[in-house]
Chain A
Amino acid sequence: MPVHTDMQQAFERRADGCDAAGRPLVGTFGEGVPRALVAAFGGLCVDVKAPPLSDASDGPQHTSVAAVAEPFLDSFTARFLHRFAAGAFDDFALLIFARDDVAGLAAYQYATELRRQGALPDRGPRFHLWNLLHTDSAPAARFNGRELERLTTQLAEVFGSALDPDRLADAVTAEVRCAEALAALPGGGAEAFVARNAGRWMAPSDHVGLLANAPESDAAASGPEIVLVGSACDIPVLHGLCEGLGRVRADLQDYGRTPPQGADTTDLLREIVLDPLSPRAVPPDRYTRVLQEETAGADLVIASLDANDDCFGWELPLLRQTVEARGSRFLNLGFRPFRPDAAWEDAARTKIEEALT
């Protein structure tokens, strides 16, 4: 079943096409921001990390950003900075950067410094660095509690109101319903990918309504089971490549999965802190273990990475060894261009076909 037009448009236009319906926009860069808290203040969380698909090649370019962007700067960071400089987020009330996102800290620091130096006009949203630790320890819990207070204070200042517990409860409920609807989506497939991610640019209640007509679970579909791993990929290119060759059971990459949100108003951060697929989870074997668990039983595990990856690459040999020891196949597609061209896709599809032969 094709994806609803509204979700398709939201996915393609992203922050540029967001219908805020009068709500102030709060941009989020990276996973792990408690969306319900923002919603409780009346704001609408909008992903600003992934650029619109209309920016097919490089998107807007700004000389002030080009002057400080090293050639190896993360593509998400660089795209965000150029778009920020071009005024794409001028109407936003606040931008929240997740420190634990592999590109988030650089995006925050570069944007902040460009502003401080006067290289970019000091207009537009405030910035907030969301320093949440993905560590299950008492010291981390104390620190995270203070970070939550700091974010709450920031939002109260931005919105000029205090946190209303009832509105927070409603917002958490909306997030939980959304998570339940998302859980019913197939783990793979380009349409499910689009349907899942469209929610990054709309309110949870709107997303839930549209998900009612979303692609149904393809659990009965035949073919080898495939799991995708690697660094963040905000387009369904790999899902498209696997179509007709096998069934993508899970996509463990950022944008391929549904990161957890808080389900309890008394502990809004618990599920987020325990997200095992946060690349900065501590102890770090949490990440290693969940990769191994989630790939168990797959016929083929496909890895692809950003060329500047300094994180996932440390998992590759052990994951390959584990997968192959189970009798499954492991395919490393190597570095994946930010927007792969036809030649890369052709070569990748051939490799997938060969791996499944």
Chain B
Amino acid sequence: MTCAATAAAYQRDWLKGLRRQITDGADYAFVNADTPHELFHFMDVPMVTNQWWSAVIAAKQLAPRYFDRMEELGFHAHLPRYSSLPLVAQMEGDFDLQPWGGLPSPALLCARASSDEHPRIFQRWAELTGADLHILSAPATPDPAPDWWVKARSDWEELYGTPRLDLMVDEMEGLIEALERMTGRAFDHDGFAEYMARIDAQERVVDEVADMLAAADKSPMSISEQMPNVMIPQWHRGSDWALSHVRAFRDEVSERISQGTAVCEDERIRMMWIGAGLWFDTSFYSAFEDSHGAVFAWSMYVPFAADGYIRADHGDPLRALAARVSAMNEQLHQPPWVNEWLVKEAKRWRIDVAVMLVPEHDRFSGYGSYFARNALREAGVTVVEIHSDMVDPRDWDREKMEARVRAALDELEAG
């Protein structure tokens, strides 16, 4: 069994347990992806992540139904979709159709105000469910260092700024108090330091994997296989299983490389997939291997595990967590962070072609796309823009999109 299959099996079992807990009436939290999950995990609070749940609904091919319904309910057609799909499903209440038979009402809601829509979406959740709502502030960084990843691992106080980190720590302490009330348990600061150290160790292993994948002559593993190997442990970061899994993942990658295993024996073109996963059509990632020897070698999930998560604690793990969270999503979308990081990664992974998902209905994820596109082109990377959405297949024309990528690949091969 490959590590990806092991991870998928673990996730299935874990989800069964989580589902059982939740459907049995355990209090759980419904949270956004860029919130401090570490606090929920450490306090043993069952947690469902909005964007993950959105991907699950999309993978069940239910998104068109809910997005059509969203407009019938009076929401307009240009509102962001990735973060709103679970809300609409919850409003619709047709739980018999939904994965797990739907979600019961959460006890606690948590979002960061990283984009304008998140507080509004979570306010609607609060009205719908009566759950306790926690919005974490997201002031922007006035002077973002273009090479943020250089300082992020250790010199993060200077990078993100003391006032912003103080604020995030203060607000996380408020969230901890809510979790203490919810669980009836006190937050163990010493134990949390050990937990954060395990997360750091886990992300450093993934960093080794990224180095290996980037340097390999040919991609030993497709991004479809990379994603579960890094993201499933990421959802469980700091657990014994997660640390053990990423080590096994590292060993598998190392072994494949030493044995000369390649996703595509005839690999001629290396590609990067920019943006969140195309959750309703993941087979797109392998569509160009036979025809052009073109392999999606890179997605953000492996390299971001290191650059986005490793934060030396300097004796203050809660502050290190604030450093991890306070610009988590911004680094993936906002100039100069996103353009500089993508160019760095493209060079490191010897990328020829970038396929960039531009979600027009999602300002936060869509803005900054052209800075990234232009920077990659200046770095010699061919960029194919795909204006679509991560979870909404209604405007997705697979044939047309494949043709656009093939045209770029043909042009590249023609020299």
Contact = CB atoms under 8 A, between A and B. Distances in A.
Interface in B353-401: 358, 360-364, 366-371, 374
Contacts of A112: 335
Interface stretch (A2-10, A171-179, A310-318): A310-318
Contacts of B314: none
Among B122, B142, B368, B371, find the residue whose CB has the most chain A CB atoms closer than 10 A.
B142
Contacts of A282: 113, 119, 135, 137
Contacts, number: 141
A305 interface: yes
A332 B119 contact: no
A139 B167 contact: yes
B115 interface: yes
Given A109-B334, A280-B119, A314 B137 contact: no
Contacts of A142: 166-167, 170
A317 B74 contact: yes
A313 B78 contact: yes
Contact of A116 (B116, B139, B146, B334): B146
Contact of A314 (B79, B364, B374): B79
A249 interface: no
B168 to A, nearest CB: 9
Interface residues of B, number: 50
A133 B126 CA distance: 21
Contacts of A71: 360
A334 interface: yes
A305 B75 CA distance: 12
A225 interface: no
Contact of B78 (A102, A280, A335): A335
B123 interface: yes
Interface residues of A, number: 56
A284 B120 contact: yes
Contacts of A129: 140, 142
Interface in A115-129: 116, 128-129
Interface in A69-120: 69-74, 99, 102, 105-106, 108-110, 112-113, 116
B142 A131 contact: yes
B135 A310 contact: no
Interface of B: 73-76, 78-80, 113, 115-117, 119-124, 126-127, 133, 135, 137, 139-140, 142, 146, 163-164, 166-167, 170-171, 174, 334-336, 339, 358, 360-364, 366-371, 374
Given A110-B335, A307-B78, A316-B74, 8 more contacts: A67-B370, A72-B361, A139-B167, A143-B167, A282-B113, A308-B363, A309-B76, A311-B120
Minimum-distance CB pairs A-B, first 9: A139-B170, A317-B74, A314-B120, A131-B139, A284-B123, A113-B335, A284-B119, A129-B142, A311-B116
